[in-house]
Structure 1
Amino acid sequence: MNEPAETRSVVLEREFAAPVERLWRALTQPHLIEEWLMKNDFKPVVGHRFNLRGEWGGVLDCEVLAIEPQKTLAYTWNFSHEDAAFDLKSVVTFTLTPTGAGTRLRVEQAGFRPTQKQAFGGAHAGWKQFLAKLDEVLARAG
């Protein structure tokens, strides 16, 4: 998917000591998503619209764009703000790759405008925290 040159992406990669199947469940089962990401009404169905509800009171409007079981998951990650300068229209893509020790997860959030430096930095820090929580969820599910 080619994105316009005027946008930036946050990309993080991390290896988890868990099989692909377990990581996939944590990415697609609402009760597990809530443990590491946010409250949600997610369903792993292309075209399903859902919300992610942050502890900070914000709501993200999302739509499942692509699912390739145990390989790829992509959905929109849109946030509307009373100040349009803070509106964010982005796409988050999770890519899973089996490794000898578990699974490598690549997370990309694409669509940050150059003027959205605060949102870009916040997303980078936020995804690091989310992935640390995901690691804890996977360790408990072990």
Structure 2
Amino acid sequence: MDGKILQMDECRIVSFQRYLKHPVEKVWRAITSPEQIAKWLTAQAELDLHVDGKLAFRWENGDLVHGNFTKVDPPYGLEYTWLEQTSGHSIVRWSLKEEGDGCLLHLTHTFYGPAIVPDFLAGWHVHLDVLDIVLLEQFRQFPWERMKEIREKYASHFG
């Protein structure tokens, strides 16, 4: 499903909701395991998974995100700050809910700074697609061309 942008006061919120045909616990492990994160987010992750614990995501191109966990509620809720040079300070929230035979995942990324929102929409869109592929144990390689297509789509809608 496509992402949405919500405008609230002085922030913008990128929001995604996905139904995944996997148990909540399996999805939780995928979003909190450095080995799984390396596949679907394409970043090396260092996680101290408790409230006030630190996190870092490092991509091969040199991009770096630092943050702290503000909520760790296994296997249903995760929240952390996201600080990077280009977009400033933001907050990422994951909510997982059992639904039918699977999991309803809700992801929000709240921006207070100058983020290029279509880039984040495209990024989260494709990373969530790949998360499902990783959970299905069918991951081969990250679809960078798909990222370009989705970025163009969001840029034309939200430019």
Separation in 2, partners of 1:48, 1:34: 19
Residues 34-80 of structure 1: per-residue CA shift (max 9 Å, x gap): 11112111132111112101233200111111011111000111112
- SS at 1:140 equivalent: coil
- SS at 1:46 equivalent: coil
- SS at 2:135 equivalent: helix
The answer to whether residue 66 in structure 2 is matched with residue 68 in structure 1 is no
Separation in 1, partners of 2:112, 2:125: 17
The equivalent position to 2:55 in structure 1, one of 29, 47, 50, is 50
Q: Where does 1:85-100 land on structure 2 (aligned, <5 Å)?
A: 86-100=86-100
What displacement does 1:29 show? 1.2
In the alignment, structure 1 segments of 5+ residues that lack a partner are 81-85
AA of the residue aligned to 2:25: E
Higher RCO (CA 8 Å, separation ≥ 6 residues) = 1
- SS at 2:61 equivalent: coil
Q: CA RMSD in A?
A: 1.8
Residues 91-126 of structure 1: per-residue CA shift (max 9 Å, x gap): 00000011113001000000244x54xx21111110
In the alignment, structure 2 segments of 5+ residues that lack a partner are 1-7, 139-159
- Using structure 1 for the length normalisation, give the TM-score: 0.85
Of all paired residues, the percent bearing the same amino acid is 29
The answer to whether residue 27 in structure 2 is matched with residue 27 in structure 1 is no
